[in-house]
Each structure stands twice: as C-alpha cells, then as structure tokens.
Amino acid sequence: MCFAGNTDLGLSNYYNSDIATAAAWLRDFLEPKLRNPAFADNTLVVIVWDEGSGPGAQRSHVSTILLSSSIFAGARDATAYDHYSLLRTIQHNWNLGTLGRKDDAARSFGIIAGKPKR
C-alpha cells in the first residue's frame, strides 16, 4: 500500500489562474496515470477543493471527486463530509488509529465499496 499527495503550488492551483488552466494541469497530471492499469488497481484518487466561498463559507459545499475502481461508475453520495472525512477514510483503509482530534469522530467516505461509514 502506498499513500502519496500532490499539491501544485504554481499557477495551475486555481488561486492564481483560471479554471481552464487548473483543468488542463489536472488532465495532464492524471490522464497518464489513469491509463496505467497498475496505477488504477486498488488506488483512490481524491480531487478536493480546499474551501467553500460566499456567505456561510464554513457550511458551504466543498467539491470532492473520488476516482477508484472500488467505486461504482456515476455513484453519488449526499452524506455531509468534511476534510477530516478524507483523513478518516485513509485511516480506515490502512487500519490506522486516529490522531484523537476531529478525525476521531469524522465519517469515512462510505461510497468506497467495502468500507463502512462510521
């Protein structure tokens, strides 16, 4: 099992550019990996925006896309999750303990086949 993270801090991070630039970067970064069968097997790719905006930003929706062979194509989940849910999902997947903070009570992403919601 492997865990890797990537944060692009250049212009393609969408803070300093437009959506077309960010989308092009994401396509160029992901498409070669997704074409590789070894990469796609037992892999979860998480694309998450780090914050909502507008009135009540703390309660606004934060878009998150999960790509995995363990998720049925076109699946949707209307459950309320937060950033700690991503951490909790990783902890569940690798049978790791929690940090004893907000991740302890967070729900893991239940849409991933075989992984129960907490």
In this prediction, residue 116 has a pLDDT band, given cuts at 50, 70 and 90, of very low
Strand 64-68 relative to strand 44-48: parallel, antiparallel, unpaired? antiparallel
Please indicate, yes or no, whether the overall pTM of this predicted structure exceeds 0.75.
no
If one compares 8 and 73, the residue with the highest pLDDT of the two is 73
* pLDDT-wise least confident of 15-19, 40-44, 92-96: 15-19
pLDDT digits (tens, 9 = 90+) for 71-100: 877 888 888 888 888 889 888 887 889 998
For 52, phi and psi rounded to 5 degrees?
Answer: -90, 180
Return mean pLDDT, the chain: 74
pLDDT at position 39 over 50 = yes
The stretch 42-57 carries a mean pLDDT of 68
**DSSP helix/strand/coil, 6:** coil
**Which residue would you say has higher pLDDT here, 69 or 1?**
69
| φ, ψ (nearest 5 deg) of residue 46 | -115, 120
Q: Label residue 113 by pLDDT band (50, 70, 90).
A: very low
**Does pLDDT of 63 surpass 70?**
yes
Tell me how far apart the terminal alpha carbons of the chain are, to the nearest angstrom. Answer: 22
pLDDT at 99: 92
User: What's 41-98 look like in SS3?
Assistant: CCCEEEEECCCCCCCCHHHCCCCEEEEECCCCCCCCCCCCCCHHHHHHHHHHHCCCCC
Best CA proximity match to 107, nearest among 95, 117, 96? 117
